[in-house]
Amino acid sequence: MNKRALPLAKVYGLLETGPVVLLTTTHKGKPNVMTMSWHTMMEFEPPLVGCVVSRNDYSFEALRKTRQCVLNIPTADLAAQVVTCGNTTGRDVDKFEATGLTPVPATFVAAPLIAECFANLECRVADTRLTNRYDFFVLEVLKAWIAPGLKNPRTLHHRGYGAFMIAGDTIRLPSRMR
Ligand SMILES: Cc1cc2nc3c(=O)[nH]c(=O)nc-3n(C[C@H](O)[C@H](O)[C@H](O)COP(=O)(O)O)c2cc1C
């Protein structure tokens, strides 16, 4: 999928609506991907994203040790892969092989971009002060990629227990932000 650079100040608009994301890591040379919906924007620029990655997940140790990841944002056509990545563990499954998702080298981090996702955010771990207590990591987006020309990305929004909403139309309302 062809991408152009997305200005970092616009990254919040990708995440504020809470799309389900695919978090990739590479630990000890092994790439992995997990599904994540517990995330929140914390700052415009540089973009800061808070997220909960459970200590039970294989990705937790990878994130804590390498302090790097990519947040890949899928659209609804990837729903089956999203569910697989959220219901299997990298401890015993190569999820890229299992799902057919394509890992692509990132610019600033060892974790791969997922080619099929319309946006990819390369991140470093900026703060772990709440990690021991809440499994909460603060990520700083170092580089953002977006597929040009996609007007209304049909992102997935988790409603719990396997139910998802799919984003639809965009409406424009007055805003003091541009
Ligand atoms: C829709 C969905 C959203 C999820 N959100 C999160 C999340 O925000 N944080 C988390 O720790 N696990 C979340 N999970 C569960 C992990 O994706 C799951 O435990 C996965 O198996 C972890 O993979 P890993 O062991 O390879 O790291 C979610 C699962 C699904 C299906």
Predicted confidence (pLDDT) per residue in 113-150, tens digit = 999 999 999 999 999 999 999 999 999 999 999 999 88
Q: Which helix or strand (DSSP H or E) is residue 86 part of?
A: helix 79-87
Whether residue 151 is predicted with pLDDT greater than 90 in this model: the reply is no
Assess contact for 70 and 123: CB atoms under 8 A: yes
Ligand 1 centroid – CA 149 distance (Å)? 30
16 — pLDDT class (breaks 50, 70, 90): low
15 — pLDDT class (breaks 50, 70, 90): confident
Whether residue 178 is predicted with pLDDT greater than 70 in this model: the reply is no
Residue 145 Cβ contacting ligand 1 at under 6 Å? no
Whether residue 31 is predicted with pLDDT greater than 70 in this model: the reply is yes
Query: pTM (2 decimals)?
Result: 0.94
At residue 34, the pLDDT reads 98
Question: What number of residues does the chain have?
Answer: 178
17 — pLDDT class (breaks 50, 70, 90): low
Place of tokens 């998702």: 101
Residue 69 Cβ contacting ligand 1 at under 6 Å? no
Half-sphere exposure of 6 (CA within 13 A, CB side): 27
Residue 86 Cβ contacting ligand 1 at under 6 Å? yes
Residue 134 and residue 72: Cα distance in Å, rounded? 23
Ligand 1 centroid – CA 174 distance (Å)? 36
